[in-house]
Structure 1
């Protein structure tokens, strides 16, 4: 499978780290990176990462592109992707965050890529796919959204709970680390609360996962509400979900069914240890259930708490979904 990355930001660079760590038999070849930043800047930010630490191998730059551990990935620096030759690319990973219109989303196809996977919500996508929740809806779509990091953690969890006992109603709060959408010092933003310094306060705000759950699991549309609190940490977020089940059951019965479902999942994990957020950095799961924090209230209400590395786990799902798209 031949991949290209458009946009070498937080997700693009994390995907490259994961591709480089794959065994040779994985049959994934990264053939091109496009980013408007100078090559020197791209190489520096890949080598020295404040969240995941310095890349342990060698990183160099040359006329051909970015060379990591002796392996060169060609780089282009075009703001207009249609000027880049993507012939032979099976899936373009669009990690720019701007592929929200059909015109922008289709640029990868116009450049020659077979399909485009967008690293975020996009109304221009033919389908929004979350692995472990609705990946059976992928079909032969050529422009696909990988939803959001929070949706990738929430949707598989809700699907499991719905399979166990039917979800009647629920509310999710994501305790989310700050991102580039927030200023480091107070500065005007459309959302007044998000105009405040992201590293100094807990900031209540909205979550795109609230809408995306209705898209990914339409039979539950209108049953799950949600909100976010942005907190002053740089890595690893959490989901705190309370749902009311349609089916009554004992705590022991629920625990047994829930544990079995998590262990059978390809994207959910669990821990019995009293971990904190920094312990979950660079975990590849979409969500790691904190078992000590999960409990039933009565016979119908369940509180579930889980951790997710909103960059590393999401990047891992980008590669997983790209594999599915390439084999269709």
Structure 2
């Protein structure tokens, strides 16, 4: 039989088998060399064969050239032959660079030239950096998942411990269960073993010490073999230098990162915008989820069009700070049931943007509405620009930013009339521009930015930790500085 149905089915099976052969290539590069591979920002690590096919198809949907499975396989095999050091490599862009050079040179030789700075030739990539999670709530558990998932190579970050206040006699079992099962993000991808005698959790080969303490200053991490650690404070209990400085009094701690906006003179770091300011500061903040979502988009718009002023309205999923049913709350309106109400509240995200992007100081106002959804939020940027921004031009620019710019790890772009908030659960990007929702009227524009306020933000936090530890992988090929002119040139080409 050779009906169209049979042909399509055979083609699908052949593509699926080819994708299956790619899986060990992707895994080998990651486990043995610390190389994270992607296709236009879509990570390939730990994907199924079907997900690999979807990653290849995404390029066409995003307005880029689709990468064939044959081309991907050749790139991956050539990379393995070169034995590169830790890096984040976009194989779609590597292939495009190869084609732009004529596509007739030896592929291994071409890649050797492109990736010269990460070819280690057997050199030791360095010891991993110890990380401690102080607090194990929504962000803490997602950070644990990410850090465990990043532990495939022997360099980089290594989750060593979590610190919590003991809640019950079976506290350890409950903590492990919350790591194993998540109502929003699904089950943990792997195995978890609890050792009650030693207060440890073994997750996919990562041994995590659970430490019970009410005082950050008195924990002795060195007693557990932890040294020079970065402590990530997820509690939100302390947000100023004095409070967070308590961590530095503990034995075995070198630096502290807060997963909330810092107060006073603490630097708020939004990766992709001001990570160069990390420096040697011992106490830093990773800002808020909303600040991370909107700042990269605002930076891109300001660079191309200039932002005169604007208002940011955040439609934000409820958080654990709110009440499930009506009850007393020290905050205004937050005492009313989060599951039944839209709740107008305050947000400091608009002002916080200026700490990462001083050019916008005093230009933005902001407010927030908490809504009855557990995750994924939406920021509405109502902006007045320095010059007119036609809708198609504006969207084309933001699409190019998501694919080719220095912000492509932070900004994503989508055009679909059917997407809703749950479609963005698990996004690795800080924010996703919804192109079909864009409104443009001369120099007044409204841009809608979705963001997974839990997972997308946690990915940004990990990038900051890597920067603090000096382990953030080199991102290659070198990313373009996208301008309106380059977008127009790409469109015309």
- The Cα offsets for residues 1-37 of structure 1, whole Å up to 9 and x where unpaired, read as 2211110111110011112222522622111111113
Residue-by-residue CA offset, 1:138-165 (whole Å, 9 max, x unaligned): 2221100011000000111111111011
How far apart are 1:303 and its partner, in Å? 1.0
**Cα distance in 1, alignment partners of residues 140 and 389 from structure 2:** 44
Bigger RCO of structures 1 and 2 (CA < 8 A, at least 6 apart) = 1
Give the SS at the match of 1:259: helix
CA drift of 1:68 comes to 1.7
Q: Is the 8 A contact 2:294 2:449 kept in 1?
A: no
What is the CA deviation profile of residues 35-88 of structure 1, one whole-angstrom value per residue up to 9, with x for unaligned ones?
113212211211222211232432232133112234321110111122222352
Indicate the larger mover: 109-118 or 253-262.
253-262
TM-score by length of 2: 0.63
Structure 1: which 5+ residue stretches go unaligned?
A: none
Structure 2 partner of 1:12: 140
**Do the aligned partners of 2:241 and 2:266 also contact (CA within 8 Å) in 1?**
no
Ranges in structure 2 where 5+ consecutive residues have no aligned partner = 1-128, 472-493
- The Cα of 1:215 is off from its aligned counterpart by 2.1
Counterpart of 2:456 (choices 306, 313, 316) is 313
| Correspondence for 1:323 among 450, 466, 475 | 466
Aligned partners of 2:246, 2:209: CA distance in 1, in Å? Answer: 19
Residues 78-227 of structure 1: matches in 2 within 5 Å? 78-87=213-222, 88-111=227-250, 112-123=252-263, 126-227=266-367
Cα displacement (A) at 1:249: 4.0
Of 41, 56, 61, the match for 2:194: 61
Question: Secondary structure at the residue paired with 1:50?
Answer: coil
Q: How far did residue 170 of structure 1 move? A: 0.6
Q: Please name the residue that 2:425 is paired with.
A: 281
Q: Which residue of 1 aligns with 2:444?
A: 301
Mapped partners of 2:350, 2:394: distance in 1: 25
Q: Distance in 2 between matches of 1:270 and 1:301?
A: 20
Work out which of the residue numbers 206, 211, 231 in structure 2 matches 1:71: 206
* Equivalent residue, structure 2, for 1:27: 156
Contact 1:122 1:145 in 2 (8 A): yes
CA contact (8 A) 2:218 2:249 kept: no
Q: Write out per-residue CA displacement over residues 151-201 of structure 1, whole angstroms, 9 at most, x where no aligned residue.
A: 000111111111011100111111100001100011122333212100101
**Higher helix proportion, which one?**
2
TM-aligned CA deviation for residue 277 of structure 1? 0.6
2:56: which partner in 1? Answer: none
Which runs of structure 1 show a deviation greater than 6 angstroms over 4 or more consecutive aligned residues? none
RMSD of aligned residue pairs (Cα, Å): 1.8
**Deviation at residue 124 of structure 1 after TM alignment:** 5.6
Whole-angstrom CA distance in 2 between matches of 1:89 and 1:74: 16
Higher strand share: 1
Q: Secondary structure at the match of 1:288?
A: strand
Residue 50 of structure 1 corresponds to: 183
User: Over residues 104-129 of structure 1, what are the superposed CA-to-partner deviations in whole Å (9 max), with x where a residue is unaligned?
Assistant: 20122211311111010121663111
> Partner of 2:221: helix, strand, or coil?
coil
Report the alpha carbon displacement of residue 227 of structure 1 after superposing the two structures with TM: 0.7
> TM-score normalized by structure 1?
0.94
| Number of residue pairs matched by the alignment | 327
CA pair 124-67 structure 1, distance change in 2 beyond 3 A = farther
Cα distance in structure 1, aligned partners of 2:398 and 2:424: 21
Q: Contact (CA 8 Å) 1:268, 1:286: kept in 2 or not?
A: yes
